Amino acid sequence: MNPRRKQKLIAVSSIGVLLVAAISFMLYALQDSIDVFYTPTEVLEGKAKTGQKPVIGQRLRIGGLVVPGSVSRDEETLAVSFDLMDVGPKVTVQFNGSLPDLFREGQGIVATGTLTEENLIIAHEVLAKHDEEYMPPELAEQLKGIKHVKPEQAGY
């Protein structure tokens, strides 16, 4: 191999190694910022295709319907606790802050927080859907076939 060709090969190989290292460092730095979406069933039983379950301490987004009768508020603080469900088991969400105006029992919501126990999420953000038609695509897929009762029909 002639020296000129050898220098080009070393240069290209070095650039490739540096590029792989830079991408690895970026992904490692973003690791704490990535929130994977789960439904309550997926939190407890794992994703359908992969069986992947979140681990304790993992940040995640969870979407589901607020279980009627499960909302409990602390009289002295803004702390609130409620259960979320989709088609299966329930997961408890605890939130300390001001809830959205559209939040109510039977409503679809998405919460962002940390899994602290197998079925307990400490949320730092709670979002309610804006109209009767919107629902996250992942949640809509899970809830196919379940009748949604509007809060005004349920007497809330």
CATH number for position 74: 2.40.50.140
Q: Is 22 a residue whose pLDDT tops 60? A: yes
- Provide the number of structural domains found in the chain: 2
State residue 156's pLDDT score: 45
State residue 42's pLDDT score: 87
Query: Does residue 20 share a domain with residue 42?
Result: no
Query: Does residue 123 share a domain with residue 72?
Result: yes
Q: How far is CA 38 from CA 46, 128, 129, in A?
A: 9, 16, 17
Query: Does residue 18 share a domain with residue 78?
Result: no
Q: List the end-to-end C-alpha distance of the chain, in Å, as a whole number.
A: 80
State residue 144's pLDDT score: 67
Q: pTM of the full predicted structure? A: 0.65
Q: Which two tokens mark 148? A: 């949604």
Q: Which two tokens mark 119? A: 């079925």
State residue 3's pLDDT score: 86
Query: Does residue 46 share a domain with residue 20?
Result: no
Query: Does residue 41 share a domain with residue 21?
Result: no
State residue 2's pLDDT score: 86
Tens-digit pLDDT profile for residues 60-69: 899 888 999 9
The angle subtended at Cα 59 by Cα 63 and Cα 81, nearest 5°, is: 55
State residue 149's pLDDT score: 52
Query: Does residue 84 share a domain with residue 129?
Result: yes
| Residues of the domain holding 48 | 35-154
Query: Does residue 47 share a domain with residue 18?
Result: no
Query: Does residue 16 share a domain with residue 77?
Result: no
Query: Does residue 42 share a domain with residue 13?
Result: no
Query: Does residue 63 share a domain with residue 118?
Result: yes
Tens-digit pLDDT profile for residues 109-150: 999 999 998 889 999 999 986 655 556 676 677 666 655 555
Q: Is 151 a residue whose pLDDT tops 60? A: no
Tens-digit pLDDT profile for residues 28-57: 887 666 778 888 888 888 887 887 888 888
Query: Does residue 135 share a domain with residue 103?
Result: yes
Tens-digit pLDDT profile for residues 62-111: 988 899 999 999 888 889 999 998 888 899 999 998 888 888 888 889 99
Query: Does residue 147 share a domain with residue 113?
Result: yes
Q: Which of 48, 93, 44 is nearest to 67 (CA)?
A: 93
